[in-house]
Amino acid sequence: MTGGQVDRVEPAPGSAGDEAAAAVVEAVVDPVPGIELSEDPGQAVGLLLGELAAARAAEEAAVDKWKRAAAEFDNYRRRARRDRAELVSRSSERVAGRLLPVLDSLDSALLLDVEAGASSDAGIREGLSGTRDLLLSILAAEGLVPIEAVGSVFDPALHEAVQIGEGEGAMVVAAELRRGYMLGDRVIRAALVVVGYRPSEAPEEAEASEEAEEDQGSEGSE
């Protein structure tokens, strides 16, 4: 091999494999940068195959590295979106929590006004009611909703009992002392309630109730 070129090697009489190897070496007219081919056809082909395998391995490693980097970046974007959503939710919860006492004061003022009867000024009553409704609508736009209380089944996750009556049956909310609120799916303040019991229906009453519901359903279908 001279001048960076591969000298043509006349294949010696031998096997078909030697002739094929010689043909491959003869086909490599231009030199491969950084690779010096042997004059022996078998060694030259082996060297080329080794370089090809190394190039493929390097390519696979680069692709695998790129895939890992893409997956890590995708995970980062998901974490960033989750963190932003959590930050917004926490901020809304903090602001709503600070405004709940204002709602409580307006509720108390309206309740006292109702108990006082018609003696209070109608304009003041309307102003209080309008202010309360406006504040509640603003907070509702942020996801704030009141917790159902009176008449609903007692739920420790939503209701904080300050008094529990005596009796048997299902525990229900008998009275609401302070309204509770949720922001989205999170309870920011449980409702303060008085808990009572709903007597279980006797078998005859339950059967009659079921028959009445069935009759109403059949009438509705007709």
pLDDT (0 to 100) of residue 18: 55
Kindly provide the b/e burial profile for residues 56-73, where b requires at least 16 CB atoms within 10 angstroms of the residue's own CB.
Answer: eeeeeeeeeeeeeeeeee
Q: Are 195 and 173 in contact (CB under 8 A)?
A: yes
pLDDT (0 to 100) of residue 110: 80
pLDDT (0 to 100) of residue 181: 92
pLDDT (0 to 100) of residue 7: 47
In order along its 222 residues, the chain shows pLDDT tens digits of 444 444 444 445 555 555 555 555 555 544 555 566 666 777 777 777 887 888 888 888 899 899 889 888 888 889 988 888 888 778 888 888 888 888 888 888 887 766 555 555 677 778 888 888 888 888 888 888 999 989 899 999 999 999 888 878 889 999 999 999 998 888 989 999 999 988 765 445 545 556 665 665 555 555
What are the tens digits of pLDDT across the range 39-77? 677 777 777 788 788 888 888 889 989 988 988 888 888
Q: How far apart are CA 43 and CA 51, in angstroms?
A: 12
Task: List C-alpha distances in Å: 36 to 20, 55, 57, 146.
Answer: 20, 16, 21, 82
pTM exceeding the 0.75 threshold for the entire prediction: no
Domains of the chain plus CATH, in order, are: 146-222 (2.30.22.10)
Q: Are 191 and 176 in contact (CB under 8 A)?
A: yes
pLDDT (0 to 100) of residue 190: 92
What are the tens digits of pLDDT across the range 27-43? 554 455 556 666 677 77
Q: Are 195 and 163 in contact (CB under 8 A)?
A: yes
